[in-house]
Amino acid sequence: MHFHKKTIGGHVFDICNILVMCAIALITIYPMWYIFINSMNDPIDSARGGIYLLPRIWSIESFRHVFSNNDILRPVFISVSRTVIGSLTHICACFVAAFCLSKKDLFMRKTFMMIIVFTMYFSGGIIPFYILLMWLGLLNNFLVYIIPTMLSAFNIILIKTYIEQLPDSVIEAAEIDGANDFVVMSKIAAPLCKPIIATVILYNAVWQWGSWFDNYLYAGANRSLTTLQYLLVRMLRESDAIRQIAQAGGSVSAARMSPESIRMSVAMIIIIPIFLLYPFMQKYFVKGIMLGAVKG
């Protein structure tokens, strides 16, 4: 057996390749690590700065300050509810729409596709959308988190492309056996589309969990609908005000209310749930996004 001996240029390329990949990995991982070590450091000590690798003084004071708010349980419930319900309704609506559009004999199929693609590039803007929600009675209503996000043009096209790559023989065999479209969709297409379904659920769950601006615009008047993210944004603003007041009075507690320490703790609270969810979805994620993007 003949082995090709690497040249000096080949070894240099391998070394450069390893260094570049290590640099990319460091750039990707370090920001999260920086947030973690600063959130776990004592808030008073954090005011000195210079924390880059490990906490100087381990402390959970910043997290204690964030969770000391007695009103945090309901926002957590609202955020979890909108993430779970919103993701499930989103994937159901998008999958049904994508399955219908994948049927070549669908009446006005091309027209429907043109309308869906049109919405990807053009929208009425925030003000017309606000007026529409007001007419529909969705303002300051929990459904404002669910109904407007049920459909996504991009995800419909992604799922449709994936369904079109399924073997025609499997679907035809089910239809020959007497299965109607609903049975084919739920019993045949859905199990075969697990990778793309998991991908879309992950996309939507990340967006639902991290969203706060829609709470500010469309449900800000109803405090019972405050999400965790919007509550934490308000806490950041309040911590800035507290620090300024404390500094004006020469109070040592200003350092404990450092917006930087609170900000790092808030970031960790938002990151951890998605960070824990991703490993369970990873095996579907890459396969789903690659196969769903093969065809144009």
Could you tell me if 252 and 49 are in contact, meaning their C-beta atoms sit under 8 angstroms apart?
A: no
Architecture of 68-296 per CATH?
Orthogonal Bundle (1.10)
Could you identify the residue written with the tokens 């399924």? 166
Per DSSP, 145 falls in state G
Tens of pLDDT, residues 102-142: 988 888 889 999 999 998 888 888 899 999 999 999 999 99
3-state secondary structure of 107: coil
Predicted pLDDT at 288 = 53
pTM of the model: 0.77
CA 112 to chain centre: 28
pLDDT at 292 over 60: no
Give the pLDDT mean for 272-285: 74
Domain ranges of the chain: 68-296
Q: What share of the chain is helix, strand, coil (3-state, %, to 5)?
A: 75, 0, 25
Tens of pLDDT, residues 19-28: 999 999 999 8
- CA dihedral (133, 126, 122, 96) positive or negative: negative
